[in-house]
A = this chain, B = another copy of it.
Amino acid sequence: MDVDALVFDVFGTCVDWRGTIIREAEGWSRKLARKIDGTGLADAWRASYQPSLEEVRAGRRPFAALDVLHRETLDKIAPRFGLAGVDEATLDGINRVWHRLDPWPDTVPGLRRLRARFLLAPLSNGGVALLTRMAKRVGLPWDLILSSELFEGYKPEPKVYLGAARLLDLPPARVMMVAAHNGDLAAASALGLKTAFVRRPTEYGPAQTTDLAPNAAWDLAVDGMEALAEALGC
């Protein structure tokens, strides 16, 4: 595979947002001495994700970083899951759970192997600050942080993929997009990037029905980052 750089979707592909929020919510429940529905919160928060990005993509509002969009959603849904009337500092800390997401068990070992041979970067709709802090906390070994924020748009907008290739000073064909989401890969592939599908069948919980398998002939389809390293000869 003649590529120099691998760029990774992050939420769901590298890290387990749903499991982390559910686990963290147990701590919030104890600290606030109230019952917080972490599973409901995680699912409702993520359900608002694409609609909130679409406001920006469609030009109905100016670019706003994902932390801002996450917080707007949180303010709307918090009361439904046991977080009514919580103070500002606590809500801000809860919003930053997206900076503290735990990687899937294969992510750090797989990336470490891949890093010996390729430039590695996230290419996420998460902001630069979010991705930087997430990486530092758990040791995601990125060579640089690439984020939709740098291009003031959101995947799957073409400017994000093409902007990443431009900053890397590589033709799109020398960059591989790695994602657990067929839509992300379809957008990248249409622009000439290589593609690797990583199966994450429980990203949305045990009853997940979407993105269980590749829906097109992506360059690679693997079961995790160690398998990706294997497939790429690392």
Known A132-B144, A144-B144, A145-B145; 16 more pairs at CB < 8 Å: A119-B133, A119-B136, A127-B167, A128-B144, A128-B167, A128-B169, A129-B167, A129-B168, A129-B169, A131-B144, A132-B143, A132-B168, A135-B143, A142-B144, A143-B145, A150-B150
A149, CB-defined interface residue at 8 Å: yes
**Which of B65, B132, B144, B149 lies in contact with A119, CB distance below 8 A?**
B132
Chain B contacts of A168 at CB under 8 A? Answer: 128-129, 132
Tell me, yes or no, whether A37 is within 8 Å of chain B by CB. Answer: no
Q: Mark A161-178, 1 if CB is under 8 A from B, else 0.
A: 000000111100000000
A226 to chain B, nearest CB (A): 22
Per-residue contact bits, chain A 26-63, to B (CB 8 Å; 1 contact, 0 not):
00000000000000000000000000000000000000
Within the assembled complex, what's the spacing in Å between the Cα atoms of A181 and B11? 40
Is residue A184 contacting chain B, with contact meaning CB distance below 8 A?
A: no
Where the two chains meet, the residues of A that have a C-beta atom closer than 8 Å to any C-beta of B are 65, 67, 119, 127-129, 131-133, 135-136, 142-145, 149-150, 167-170
A149 to B175, CA, bound (A): 20
Given the known interface contacts A144-B144, A145-B145, the answer about A67 and B132 at a Cβ–Cβ threshold of 8 Å is no
**Contacts of A67 on B, CB cut-off 8 Å?**
169
CA distance A127 to B170 in the complex (A): 13
CB closest chain-B residue, reference A167: B128
CA A52 to CA B150, docked complex, whole Å: 25
Residue of B nearest to A132 (CB): B144
Residue among B65, B145, B169, B170 making CB contact with A144, cutoff 8 Å: B145
How far apart sit A170 and B132, CA to CA, in the bound complex (Å)?
Answer: 13
